Chains A and B, each alone.
Chain A
Amino acid sequence: MTEVLNIISKYAIPLILLVIPVYALAKGVKVYSVFTEGAKEGLKVSAMIVPYLVCMLCAIGMFRASGAMDWLTNIINPITSLIGLPGEILPMGIMRSFSGGGAEGMMSDLLTMYGTQSQIGRIASVALGSTETTFYVIAVYFGAVGITNVRHSVIAGLLGDLASLIASAVIVNAMWF
């Protein structure tokens, strides 16, 4: 299992890099100009992240420096360690359901604090990448057509988020720790 996942991590992007441009060229797409034109969008997305990241990283950084983060993790560690999840990640895991930018800020904080290849850094990365911001998605898509009674959507979304958090811890621990 670990081997398969490692192979996917190693070759997924190179494969995409080979297949897409070649296929597009064969289809007559002007690859270079389409690429550079589309890449401008990435600049916009990056610029949009700035306020969220500054806002969240400063708040989290202060929260950590004050010692309050240690209290919080001391309280939740005994519970989350049952599934092999370091308590440091739980705040980000909860934030994930509410705000994508907020969760990205919290993950950046974890990555700078503990390193990208630490247990915490890896679990946080997998957890952030494996789900979407439930409440944002519900607000945008149901809001657009005027749905106000969302039935069981919130439950399904949040259980999916919880599953992604647990799965991230289990997978990362099985692969590296």
Chain B
Amino acid sequence: MMNFIWVGLVAIAVIAGTVTGNIAAVQEALFSFAGTAVEIVIGLVGVMVFFTGLMSVMEKAGLCEKLGKAISPVMRLLFPDVPKDHPAMSSMALYFAANILGIGNAATPFGLKAMADLQTLNKTKHIATDAQCMILAISTTSITLIPVTVLALRSAVQVEGAAEVVGPVILATTISTVVGVGVTLLLNKSKKYKLENVIERERAAGTLTINEDYIGNDPIKL
């Protein structure tokens, strides 16, 4: 996908530049933007370094666990199929807490653990369960409170007013998460995407594979 977008951008730029007679400007843009890109990165290193430092202090202080406990009532609402004492519940809570606190890279291992824990509740090997779709919807719509990369990029261009977007980002990301979660809840029950129906369709097509690691008490028989 990115291959086509990138090659498309460059090829169109060269062709359009030739047609419009702007080809000299196109060439100059290449040289000047290569420099600009590095300047921007140099400008953002400081902010990036500071916040990752702060994030690790947050992690060490156990704020993830604390926040994870605080959000567990919401979790039970969003993941009704996951038993309360299943390990997935705590790994998901940790994952969401890390996301909210903006511990970007450190959140990934938590997320992978949560996904693997949820897989033990999956009757099939390769079809996403409702819970797995939900955790995905929440992560793709982002629940981060402080958008560190955006702040770093903004302050690299201009320090003044760099943080003025924090409030709007929190509101916008809440809206996008509500939409993502809402769509997931709605389509969970739709004819086309309902888990039982998807399983039946794959069974009919002969592509269904059973998950041997399923620990629930209602396995599918082929």
Find chain B residues with CB under 8 A from A99 CB. 2
Find chain A residues with CB under 8 A from B172 CB. 126-127, 129-130, 164, 167-168, 171
A102 to chain B, nearest CB (A): 6
Instruction: Give the contacting residue for A49; candidates B41, B142, B163; CB below 8 A.
Output: B41
Q: A24-B58, A65-B22 are in contact. Are A46 and B140 (CB under 8 A)?
A: no
**In the complex, what distance in Å separates the CA atom of A111 from the CA atom of B54?**
26
Q: A53-B37, A145-B116 are in contact. Are A38 and B176 (CB under 8 A)?
A: no
Please determine whether A157 and B154 come into contact, CB atoms closer than 8 angstroms: no
**In the complex, what distance in Å separates the CA atom of A64 from the CA atom of B166?**
29
B55 interfacial contact with A, CB 8 Å: yes
Please determine whether A65 and B28 come into contact, CB atoms closer than 8 angstroms: yes
Find chain A residues with CB under 8 A from B179 CB. 159-160, 162-163
Please determine whether B60 and A57 come into contact, CB atoms closer than 8 angstroms: no
Which residues from 104 to 127 on chain A have a C-beta closer than 8 Å to any C-beta of chain B?
104-105, 107-109, 111-112, 115-117, 121-122, 125-127
Find chain A residues with CB under 8 A from B178 CB. 163
**In the complex, what distance in Å separates the CA atom of A95 from the CA atom of B58?**
31
B89 interfacial contact with A, CB 8 Å: no
Which residues from 136 to 161 on chain A have a C-beta closer than 8 Å to any C-beta of chain B?
137-138, 140-142, 144-153, 155-157, 159-161
Please determine whether B48 and A42 come into contact, CB atoms closer than 8 angstroms: yes
Q: A130-B169, A152-B133 are in contact. Are A67 and B6 (CB under 8 A)?
A: no
Q: Which of under 10, 10 to 19, 20 to 34, or 35 or more describes the interface residues of B?
A: 35 or more
Q: A41-B105, A63-B9 are in contact. Are A144 and B137 (CB under 8 A)?
A: no
B78 interfacial contact with A, CB 8 Å: no
B12 interfacial contact with A, CB 8 Å: yes
B162 interfacial contact with A, CB 8 Å: yes
Please determine whether A108 and B37 come into contact, CB atoms closer than 8 angstroms: yes
A133 to chain B, nearest CB (A): 8
Please determine whether A46 and B173 come into contact, CB atoms closer than 8 angstroms: no
Please determine whether A155 and B187 come into contact, CB atoms closer than 8 angstroms: yes
**In the complex, what distance in Å separates the CA atom of A18 from the CA atom of B144?**
19
A108 to chain B, nearest CB (A): 5
A39 interfacial contact with B, CB 8 Å: yes
Q: Which of under 10, 10 to 19, 20 to 34, or 35 or more describes the interface residues of A?
A: 35 or more
Please determine whether B63 and A20 come into contact, CB atoms closer than 8 angstroms: yes
B20 interfacial contact with A, CB 8 Å: yes
Please determine whether B13 and A157 come into contact, CB atoms closer than 8 angstroms: no
Find chain A residues with CB under 8 A from B140 CB. 131-134, 137-138, 153, 156-157, 160-161
Please determine whether A160 and B176 come into contact, CB atoms closer than 8 angstroms: yes
A selection of 18 A-B contacts at a CB cut-off of 8 Å is: A5-B168, A35-B54, A38-B59, A50-B38, A50-B41, A55-B6, A57-B33, A61-B32, A65-B29, A111-B157, A112-B36, A126-B169, A130-B142, A138-B136, A145-B132, A146-B126, A152-B193, A160-B180
Interface residue ranges, B against A (CB under 8 Å): 1-2, 5-6, 9-10, 12-17, 20, 22-23, 25-30, 32-34, 36-38, 40-41, 44-45, 48-63, 104-105, 108, 111-112, 115-116, 118-119, 125-128, 132-133, 135-137, 139-142, 144-147, 149-150, 153-154, 156-158, 160-173, 175-181, 183-184, 187-188, 190, 193, 195, 198, 202
Interface residue ranges, A against B (CB under 8 Å): 4-10, 12-13, 16-17, 20-21, 23-24, 27, 29, 31, 34-43, 45-46, 49-50, 53-68, 71, 95, 98-99, 102, 104-105, 107-109, 111-112, 115-117, 121-122, 125-135, 137-138, 140-142, 144-153, 155-157, 159-164, 167-168, 171-172, 175
Besides the contacts A35-B57, A46-B44, A137-B136, what 9 more A-B pairs have beta carbons closer than 8 Å?
A: A13-B146, A59-B6, A61-B33, A108-B37, A129-B165, A131-B140, A149-B127, A149-B202, A163-B175
